[in-house]
Chains A and B, each alone.
Chain A
Amino acid sequence: MSEIQSMLSGDVAEVDRESLALDDAGLARMYEAMSTTRAVDKRSARLHVEGEIGFYVASCGLEAVSVGAGFTLETPDWLFPSHRDLGMYLLRGGSMRAWFDQLFGNVADLTKGRQLPGHASLPAGRFVSVSGRVGAQISQAAGCAMAIKSRRDKACVLTSFGEAASSAADFHAAMNIAARFRVPAVFVCRSARRDIGAGIGGAAPVATRAKAYGVSAARVDGSDVLAVYRAVSEARSTATEGGGPTLIEAVLDEAALFGAGAPAAGDPPSADLDPLARLREYLEQCGIWDAAREDELGARLADRIDEAVAAARAEAKPPAHSLFDDVYGELPWMLQEQRERLVSGEGD
């Protein structure tokens, strides 16, 4: 069980395409998605480094997990993501423009500038608003899966989180509930490749803990997008067929996992560990991708990102009085009063 599954092990011929149910076009789209994720993330990190935004946690190096997992999902599926799941956000229909609007917290941001940069929300894609507290989403995911099951919905819930969150009470609660009610949930945990017991992880690999709860588990190479994709696909099938929840531990290079604190934030890992490089190499060898397409993609992404950033940057900040909206469905008296005082300049 503790064997880490991988597909892109270097030898093209060994990749079991059959098991993937992905054609060439699909693979190319997957790569594009990863590239887009990388490019947007790098640009976001740059905005932070250059002081245009006040906070950002990069997800560079995690594209295999977010895209690999995200690619398996179907329209009715629900996501309870973390703040490093940009890939999932884009795959679920999130636009670059909306992403940068949220980073700038401008008047066009659908979340009205309320959250720190990088905490996206997308109801149209069932991408649940990302919480500022790591791990809060995990138990919510279990509950949502309970709801799906009780309504005989043919969907599953995917929740993504880092290893740190696997120590949170929510992880425990979710595992317990998910197993107890045999819910259609896939738990994806990004963990670091290290010696057992070292670092911030628990005493045993995260995946082994699942067993204690009665939850199926798998460990995959977190920078191998095809391995992630396959494992999550299987887990999704299991879930939607009533087989219950699965915990997938995506094991990554430590530098990739803690990218934000790594030597140069947002720098990609070395080629042998870089999920983009690994897939691209495979695609090139299969004749699905080439340098020309790479350049074209790069240029296209650069343009789109530039445009989105410029537009987002140009927008105004939300008006001060919008501070009071959305606390409740209707404005209660104390917010009316506070708003009036703010607007009138009257003070407290």
Chain B
Amino acid sequence: MAMTTLAEAVRDTLAQEMRRDESIVVMGHAVGTMGGVFHATEGLLQEFGEDRVIDMPLDEGGVVGAAVGMALYGLRPVAEIQLADFVYPGLDQIISEAAKLRYRSGGQYRCPLVVRIPYGGGVGGGPYQSQSPEAFFTHTPGLVVVAPSTAADAAGLLRTALRGEDPVVLMEPKALYGVAAAAAETADAVADDQFALPFGVAARLRRGDDVTLVAYGAMVHPAQQAAEQAAAHGVEVDVLDLRTLMPFDIGALLESVAKTGRAVLVQEAPRSCGYAAELAAVLAEKAIFHLQAPVLRVTGFDTPFSHAAEHTYVPDSDRVLGAIRAVAEF
């Protein structure tokens, strides 16, 4: 039996939710007739019609701006940005408008908008199809930012977003779009039209007492591989899949690092001022007397994403394992 892929999980969840809630509309460039550049909206136009699955002009600012207007009217728009690299024209409507409408109106207005953003490298996309700009969003008060690492998580997080009242940025790891659900249970989770994952709760994918390894999105998989390799060397790794970047599961993070005293944080985004820096700062503030080694970040480099150097740039299990060893042997 073919397992649902991450992209299919997104599509199926959208369809389930759109059947349940008429106010949900999907919009973006090529989401309708083309079914989305990654097929995440395939078939939706046929089922729900062009009033609810809207092909928008190639203008991210317009897509998000119009989505904000729809949300104010009372709809629940799901705006698709074709690639994270193209989100920037829409950044103002996300950061200045969607994220601030509730606050600036004293709670009078809500903006229940979901912006779906395929992100990340490893697909041969070069500098304009591989970026990971999640830090712009996690640094914006008022936005919920989530990053699933599996088909089931994508379904669960998207469903929660569609039932909530906050604007949500859903960072979809495009390298994993084609990856099928790992097991029958997770496939069932996707098929279950009530399966929802709460925001702010990380998943502990592996238990270990020696090192805490934190990752999200596509980086969860090299992280898990590295953890397995580390186990073969006698280093047991606690692997945390954050799932929600903001607000993140600080309880899980602190509990794990208090136990292990050694933390490795993984992101494919450029290193400086990236998301992992926030986790490192939190650990320095709250867990410094539990730390047995410096907190290490395994990250992309402070360069634009290079097509030719893709495999050097994106952290792999070897680099993660190197960091695990470094903290374990400190």
Chain B nearest Cβ from A276, distance in angstroms: 31
6 A-B pairs within 8 Å (CB atoms) are namely: A110-B108, A140-B65, A147-B25, A148-B73, A328-B142, A328-B166
B235-256 contacts to A (CB < 8 Å): 246-247, 250
Contact pick for B62, options A111, A145, A151, A176, CB 8 Å = A176
CB neighbours of B59 from chain A (8 A): 172-173, 176-177
B188-223 contacts to A (CB < 8 Å): 200
CB neighbours of A147 from chain B (8 A): 25, 69-70, 73-75
The reply on B303 being an interface residue by CB < 8 A is: no
The reply on B302 being an interface residue by CB < 8 A is: no
A142-160 contacts to B (CB < 8 Å): 142-148, 150-151, 157
Report whether A177 and B66 are in contact in the complex, using a CB–CB cutoff of 8 Å: yes
Closest to B25 in A: A150
The residue among B72, B73, B104 with the most chain A CB atoms within 10 A of its own CB is: B73
The reply on A48 being an interface residue by CB < 8 A is: no
Report whether B70 and A143 are in contact in the complex, using a CB–CB cutoff of 8 Å: yes
**Residues in chain B within 8 A of chain A (CB atoms):** 25, 51-52, 54, 56-57, 59, 61-62, 65-70, 72-75, 77, 89, 92-93, 96-97, 101-110, 141-142, 144, 164-166, 200, 246-247, 250
Report whether A114 and B65 are in contact in the complex, using a CB–CB cutoff of 8 Å: no
Closest to B75 in A: A147
CB neighbours of A326 from chain B (8 A): 102-103, 105-107
The reply on A170 being an interface residue by CB < 8 A is: yes
The reply on A128 being an interface residue by CB < 8 A is: yes
The residue among B67, B108, B164 with the most chain A CB atoms within 10 A of its own CB is: B108
CA gap between A67 and B37 in the complex, in Å: 46
Report whether A121 and B68 are in contact in the complex, using a CB–CB cutoff of 8 Å: no
Beyond A132-B96, A146-B54, 11 extra complex contacts between A and B, CB < 8 Å: A78-B73, A119-B104, A121-B109, A123-B105, A139-B65, A140-B68, A144-B70, A170-B65, A176-B57, A177-B66, A333-B247
CA gap between A110 and B103 in the complex, in Å: 11
CA gap between A150 and B56 in the complex, in Å: 14
A100-158 contacts to B (CB < 8 Å): 109-112, 114-115, 119, 121-123, 128-129, 131-133, 136, 138-148, 150-151, 157
Interface of B is mostly: mixed
Contact pick for B106, options A110, A144, A174, CB 8 Å = A110
Closest to A140 in B: B69
CB neighbours of A119 from chain B (8 A): 104
Contact pick for B104, options A114, A151, A172, CB 8 Å = A114
Contact pick for A139, options B25, B66, B166, B247, CB 8 Å = B66
**Residues in chain A within 8 A of chain B (CB atoms):** 78, 80, 109-112, 114-115, 119, 121-123, 128-129, 131-133, 136, 138-148, 150-151, 157, 169-170, 172-174, 176-177, 180-181, 325-329, 332-334
CA gap between A144 and B166 in the complex, in Å: 18
CB neighbours of A172 from chain B (8 A): 59, 62
CB neighbours of B165 from chain A (8 A): 329
CA gap between A114 and B250 in the complex, in Å: 29
CA gap between A292 and B29 in the complex, in Å: 60
CA gap between A229 and B52 in the complex, in Å: 34
Closest to A180 in B: B57
CB neighbours of A146 from chain B (8 A): 54, 66, 69-70
CA gap between A80 and B93 in the complex, in Å: 14
